[in-house]
Amino acid sequence: MLIATDLDGTLVPHGQPAPGDYTAQVLRRADEAGVPVVLVTARPLRWMEEMWPHVGGHGLAIVSNGAITYDVAAREIVALDAIAPEDGLAIADAIRAVVPDAGFGLECVDGLRLDDTYREVEHLVPAGTPQGPLKEVFDAPAVKMLVRAPGTETETLHAAVVEAVGDSATATFSSPGLVELSAPGVTKASALAALCARLGVDAGEVVAFGDMPNDLAMLTWAGTGYAVADAHPSLLAVADHVAPSSGEEGVAQVLARLLDACA
């Protein structure tokens, strides 16, 4: 068995950087039992430090919606799929042709970059983050491009971005007002499938948990998919099971039952 779980809104409530006591206890139990737990998240690497102590000796992570696969014990990137600057600038031009007020953020391995028009929640922007014309700040491959358009509803923005980029990027969303772009074909599911192939784990052995559309492909790829109770309707429609919400530490409740059954 391999556990693959989203973080925000799934393993932990939104805004909580690390798991609660019960979840931490169950994660330790999984590690002691030799059950790999793969954290599969939209979070960038720079937001993960408070999670690393909880993944144990079998800890692996897939971050930035599948762009980076990370060996936690070794503290090293083992797989990377990014958008080259020249490709990203063409993608931005295509999006602005249909969403003229779109602003762009860039998550790169070494940190965040913002274009002139991108507006992010202030406390989420590290001091010293470069901001300027996109062609100037896009100086490294982006593991994610972030798209905001003030006043445009999330699903409307997502539909417009999907139409604009075609197969030149993979678009999804997990937060209000924000669309996230990855390199073509890169999803949580594609990264998880590649990781499981390296580990010799079949999809049927994978139990996956999620709450938002960026988890959809992962839940349908895994042998068993759980949506948390307050998940986006698209996940509830396809999940094999429903787990209690993140506020109830529902993933940990299910994982404890699975570990009991394996004991």
CATH code, domain carrying 66 = 3.40.50.1000
163 and 95 in one domain? yes
* pLDDT for the residue numbered 69: 97
Residue 60 has pLDDT above 90, yes or no: no
202 and 165 in one domain? no
Q: Which of 27-41, 112-126, 196-210, 222-236 has the lowest mean pLDDT?
A: 112-126
pLDDT band at 77 (very low <50, low <70, confident <90, very high): very high
Structural domain total, the chain: 2
* pLDDT for the residue numbered 97: 96
Q: Which of 58-62, 87-91, 131-135 has the lowest mean pLDDT?
A: 58-62
91 and 61 in one domain? no
* pLDDT for the residue numbered 224: 98
60 and 8 in one domain? yes
Across the range 115-124, mean pLDDT stands at 79
* pLDDT for the residue numbered 125: 81
Residue 122 has pLDDT above 70, yes or no: no
* pLDDT for the residue numbered 57: 67
Residue 103 has pLDDT above 90, yes or no: yes
Helices 85-98, 154-165: inter-axial angle, 10-degree rounding: 120
196 and 75 in one domain? yes
CATH code for position 140: 3.30.1240.10
Domain that holds residue 27: 2-80+186-262
Across the range 199-218, mean pLDDT stands at 96
Across the range 11-29, mean pLDDT stands at 92
112 and 37 in one domain? no
Question: Which pTM does this prediction carry?
Answer: 0.93
User: Percentage of the chain with pLDDT > 70?
Assistant: 98
254 and 140 in one domain? no
- Neighbouring residues of 37: CB distance < 8 A, sequence distance ≥ 6: 2, 3, 5, 27, 30, 31, 55, 56, 58, 59, 60
164 and 118 in one domain? yes
Q: Which of 160, 182, 204 is the last residue of a domain?
A: 182
Residue 81 has pLDDT above 70, yes or no: yes
100 and 71 in one domain? no
Q: Which of 150, 182, 214 is the last residue of a domain?
A: 182
Rounded to a whole number of angstroms, the CA Rg of the chain reads 18
137 and 102 in one domain? yes
Q: Which of 182, 214, 233 is the last residue of a domain?
A: 182
* pLDDT for the residue numbered 58: 66
Query: What secondary structure, in 3-state letters, does the chain show?
Result: CEEEECCECCCECCCCCCCCHHHHHHHHHHHHCCCCEEEECCCCHHHCCCCHHHCCCCCEEEEHHHCEEEECCCCEEEEECCECHHHHHHHHHHHHHHCCCCEEEEEECCEEEEECCCCCCHHHCCCCCCEECHHHHCCCCECEEEEECCCCCHHHHHHHHHHHHHHHCEEEEEECCEEEEECCCCCHHHHHHHHHHHHCCCHHHEEEEECCHHHHHHHHHCCEEEEECCCCHHHHCCCCEEECCHHHCHHHHHHHHHHHHHC
157 and 107 in one domain? yes
